[in-house]
Structure 1
């Protein structure tokens, strides 16, 4: 059972645990709905609040993924700490420290935190890094993430010459990019799945899991595709991380489309969609696996106008805590 209780910080702030208060200070992977999908018997939803109030200033959740091993998030692209921008550094540090102390007190032998990419919030990333390192956490993994700033500049002006030629070829030959109707979601998923298999990569979610996300987050899961008449030749699954960030979770095209590169047309459509919806950042995900670079994928995203950003995961073992306390 996930009982609710309060951890006190001082006379002004407290941490409400498993109260599940609705908050605008969040991203999709730190919401209660996402936490609820993967929670186990030992799972905790921590919210920094003003004392005796329902005003949420910060959030993180942890789930036991193995015996006495707690992770944020249990599954998902990232979790980590989310905090209101005007919170004092010392209050934020106390929030992290108190959560950390509680998990050790209930017998944790390992804690893992998968942070959002630095580009999502450089200030939060920087202060969190400082606090976590001083609390004895180490960088478990480091990835290079790619993002595209969404502004008034049109997409063709951001990409390289080769991609502009591919984009124009797709348009000349009548390929059309659009948001995909629910009736063809399974076809769109199959295009991405087969693309991953051809390139020798795993796909972390099956179709039933995608549908579960669609049903729980109907306004935040978006599927887009490129059509050659009635045939889907390229598709993507995107996630609205927050009102400012749109994330391309996965995309791919059908076989034998190298001469057209419909991904470029799809990227153009997604970027224009992000402009219309007032997003500020288009996140195209990582191009490394366990830190090892995929050079071709990195160059592909650079040619789309992307910038690099760090994405880190932290971990700490119980022996680290013992050493630090000696």
Structure 2
């Protein structure tokens, strides 16, 4: 294993910091979310990553990790991903995370260009209630403040059919799509340009900016073919709805980039598409279909989209961003 650039040792715990242009895969005692893997981090174009890992004495596997990127005078977790933050194993305790976050702060306080630390965390539905409160309390105890808290929706995937989760009005739209002969399916061997242009044009006609560059979408589709699944609804050969989904972990599928054509609004083909995604989750034994937050490109929540996700049986959780001002140590 590569030697760390810095390390801290206290009471049988060790935090290691790796500062690297190319992230080395460190063995973990838990399944990392896609955005915490070396493959994903290395696919993002940035100067350096600052990767912290927590180890217990006598254990070869890391019990927790967090990755940062330096943007201007801020250190941000993550870069070009929906979320980052601390991820840890089921045995992690409050005192361990307290030590871990203190080490993170110690290092940032030694950097003269640092002013604040920003952590965008996964939706609370990704973790058990106990794990959420452990992490929430750890951030709070370490002095982090909540600066953003958005409503997130997810659909728990069960043996029950999708139609049982949605309200009657959406069932009628679903039936209308079927009656019109639309076809919803997994998009095999997706063409990057078709995918990007459809999503870009769909959002542009509704007055929304595209959240990813063409290169970022290309990387996601072509470098992560096993995690990235694209679903479409067609009216004969014409694509009328599309969604790029991301397998964040074995049990969580994120409905990342949904888009549809305004001309088909009365049909609501996105409902038909999501039924297909839900059926895919059932087949692959995926327990959570994450519908994400409902904001525009200014970060303002959209009431109509919030209502739509609720109508589909979406359950509310929260997606939280924490920030902490960094006090640079005198003499640095």
TM-score (norm 2): 0.89
Contact 2:295 2:302 in 1 (8 A): yes
**Which residue of the other structure, out of 71, 75, 91, is the alignment partner of 2:80?**
75
Residue in 2 aligned with 1:251?
A: 258
1:85 is aligned to 90
> Is contact 2:123-2:317 (8 Å) kept?
yes
Q: Provide the rounded CA distance (Å) in 1 between the counterparts of 2:191 and 2:44.
A: 27
Residue 14 (structure 1) aligns with: 14
Shift of 1:136: 1.7
Whole-Å Cα distance in 2 between the matches of residues 109 and 73 of structure 1? Answer: 17
Residue 36 of structure 1 is matched in structure 2 by 42
Which residue is 2:102 aligned to?
97
Q: Is the 8 A contact 1:271 1:282 kept in 2?
A: yes
* 1:222 maps to 2:229: yes
Whole-Å Cα distance in 2 between the matches of residues 292 and 230 of structure 1? Answer: 35
Alignment match, 1:109 = 115
Equivalent residue for 1:119, pick from 125, 130, 134: 125
* Matched ranges for 1:140-151 at <5 A: 140-151=147-158
- Matched position secondary structure for 2:304: helix
Q: Is the 8 A contact 1:142 1:291 kept in 2?
A: no
- 1:211 and 1:52 map into 2 onto residues whose CA distance is 42
> Does the aligned pair in 1 maintain the 2:51–2:67 contact within 8 Å?
yes
Deviation per CA, 1:104-138, whole angstroms, max 9, x where unpaired?
A: 22332211100111111133332222121222211
Q: How do 1:160-199 residues align onto structure 2 when only pairs under 5 Å count?
A: 160-199=167-206
Instruction: Give the stretch that moved more between structures: 129-138 or 184-193.
Output: 184-193
* 1:313 and 2:318 matched: no
Deviation at 1:5, TM superposition (A): 3.0
**CA-CA distance at 1:287 after TM superposition:** 1.4
Distance 1:53 1:131, change over 3 A: closer
Residues 1:45 and 2:88 aligned together:
no
Q: CA deviation at 1:275?
A: 1.0
Please state whether the residue corresponding to 2:137 is helix, strand or coil. helix
**Structure 1: distance between partners of 2:305 and 2:180:** 26
Unpaired runs of at least 5, structure 1: none
- Structure 2: gaps (5+ residues): 19-23
Give, in whole Å, the separation in 2 of the partners of 1:44 and 1:318.
16
Tell me the distance in 2 between the aligned counterparts of 1:176 and 1:90: 53
Instruction: Determine the structure 1 residue equivalent to 2:21.
Output: none
Alpha-carbon distance change, 260 to 178 in structure 1, aligned in 2, over 3 angstroms: same
Instruction: Give the Cα separation in 1 of the matches to 2:126 and 2:193.
Output: 30
* Deviates most, 136-145 or 100-109: 100-109
- 1:294 maps to 302
Aligned-pair distance for 1:103? 1.7
What is the match of residue 240 of structure 1?
247
Q: CA RMSD in A?
A: 2.1
CA distance 1:207–1:38, change in 2 (3 Å) = closer
Query: Distance between the aligned counterparts of 2:79 and 2:287, measured in 1?
Result: 28
> How many angstroms does 1:102 deviate by?
1.6
1:228 and 1:295 mapped to 2: Cα distance? 29
Aligned length in residues: 319
Distance in 1 (alpha carbons) for counterparts of 2:191 and 2:173: 26
Deviation at 1:53, TM superposition (A): 4.8
